[in-house]
Amino acid sequence: MAPKLRFANVAQSDFFATVRQRVDAYFTTQHLSRHANGAMWRKTIILLLSFVTLYLLVLVGPFSLWIRLGLAMLLGACCAFIGFNICHDAIHGAFSANKRVNHAFSLLFHLVGANPYVWSLTHNLVHHTYTNIVGHDEDLEVAPGLLRLSAEDPVRPWHRYQHWYAFPLYGLASLSWVFRKDYVKFFQRTIGQYAPPAHPRREYWNLFGYKALYYLLFLLVPYLVLSLKWWQLVVGFLALHLVMGLVLGLVFQLAHVVEGTAFPVPDEQGDVQEAWAVHQLRTTANFAPQSQLASWLCGGLNRQIEHHLFPRVCHIHYPALARIVRQTAQEFGLPYLENASFGGALRSHYRVLYQFGRPA
């Protein structure tokens, strides 16, 4: 077992205290809540109505199989956007000041095939604390052995081609959630180097009960209602998840595995020399920050820096926070990494995959 990590803050940086004070002052002076506003509630209603509409059109719409296939792919994208915008904020406690509202919206994660309790462990606790630290950040284990996303991982002969096959692999991400990852992480003794406490008994029921509900809604019901052949059902289900997985995989990878992001290595005592907030700046990048479409669809995750520093603030406020964080980082001489467009971030990620696929 590796030693427990500690952010030593050797330089005694006051960056986070300063930026947090300024963000607090912004919400106070503007008389704003940190949680969802009217625009966020409208987006929530639009996404949920889109989900229900697409699901029903697939089941009962007077369409050919090819059109149903296209609708299933749109439904996959919609599931990803619901995960980004609604569930992600709710599980972080950022959607509402009311814990019951957050809990209710976090349950929607089950309808996109993932378990919110497991996500809170792997993402909220582990990824947000140990970002880009090999052996600790589970988000770097996209496809262990198949992808090399850090210089700390050993180079394998097939990695020289990973810049080509990585993107199809990302498409399998949500399938892994539905059938494998949640079960594996739930019963692992450690997640990275984090040993979670004993799971509450209700979470065992939630894991298996909601998975069964998902299989019912997305496998059994379509099979019975549409009278599909088994292979037609499999094709539609795979199409939904390949789109959903690709959207999920790209958004998360473009935030942490692009040119300029660091992959810090703790010392033998388990110390990371910098403060936690400075570590977040060095390991995280924004993409397409000026794109209103990217912000709307990605739930603000194109402004990943602001999200990592203030995960309990609803993403609808990230554009205002970005100005404060960028200015403060500049004052402290710290990096503020951005790719101006989605395409630019995609090309940067491709180059990183290419570089990590070869020996140093």
pLDDT in tens, 203-227: 999 999 999 999 999 999 999 999 8
User: What pLDDT, on a 0 to 100 scale, did the predictor assign at position 194?
Assistant: 82
The confidence score (pLDDT) of residue 2 equals: 54
pLDDT average, residue stretch 133-162 = 88
Paired tokens of 230: 């088994």
pTM of the complete model: 0.93
- In the chain, the percentage of residues whose pLDDT exceeds 70 is 99
State the average pLDDT over residues 258-269.
91
Which of the two residues, 138 and 89, has the higher pLDDT score? 89
Q: Is the dihedral of CA 71, 72, 77, 82 positive or negative?
A: positive
pLDDT-based confidence at 152, cuts 50/70/90?
confident
Q: Give Cβ neighbours of residue 45 (< 8 Å, ≥ 6 apart).
A: none
Distance of CA 250 to the CA centre of its chain: 9
Residue with more model confidence, 342 or 228: 342
Mean pLDDT of the chain, nearest integer: 93
Does the pLDDT value for residue 71 go beyond 50? yes
Report CA-CA distances (Å) from 303 to 31, 252, 287, 295, 325: 23, 11, 7, 8, 11
The answer to whether residue 348 scores a pLDDT higher than 70 is yes
Over residues 178-187, the pLDDT tens digits come to 999 999 999 9
Taking Cα atoms as reference points, which of 58, 73, 63, 78 lies closest to residue 221?
A: 58
| Mean pLDDT, residues 302-329 taken together | 97
Return the pLDDT at 150. Answer: 85
Mean pLDDT over residues 275-283, rounded? 96
- How far, in Å, CA of 294 to CA of 298, rounded? 6
> Is pLDDT of 1 > 50?
no
Average pLDDT, integer, range 126-133: 92
For range 245-269, the mean pLDDT: 92
pLDDT, position 70: 97
Q: What is the pLDDT of residue 268?
A: 82
